[in-house]
Amino acid sequence: MIGEQAAGSGILDRVIYEGPATLIHGREASEIHVALWISDPGKQWAGTATFDSHAEAMRAFEVGNVGVRLPDGRSARAVLEGICAGGTAVELLGSGPPPR
């Protein structure tokens, strides 16, 4: 999983944002907590989105393509790659510039 791969790989040194965000999935929006980092400068970013419940995480994961909006209005598109251990977080993978 992306989050597990980040530990000890230097990726966490490239964290660009950690905090509240809104995940737009289909016609729904969920208030979440994200940790975002640059995985390939200028080309790709990744992160994790943590939900309040497993059910919320599964609803978002079923959509697949999502929007991530930070509190200041910056946003980007991402693909949900997998459910993290514990079931309330999902892996995000975005291409191009991150929401920063």
> Which residue range(s) make up the domain with 72?
2-79
Q: How high is the mean pLDDT in each 10-residue block of the chain (100 residues)?
A: 47 80 91 92 89 89 90 93 86 84
Q: pLDDT value at position 7?
A: 47
In a domain, 20, yes or no: yes
For the whole model, what pTM was predicted? 0.79
Q: What is the pLDDT of residue 100?
A: 65
Indicate the pairing of strand 15-25 with strand 28-40. antiparallel
* Residue 24 token pair: 């737009």
Domains in the chain, number? 1
Residue 86 included in any domain: no
In a domain, residue 89? The reply is no
Tell me 51's DSSP state: -
* Partners of 47 in beta bridges: 36, 92
Per-residue pLDDT at 14: 79
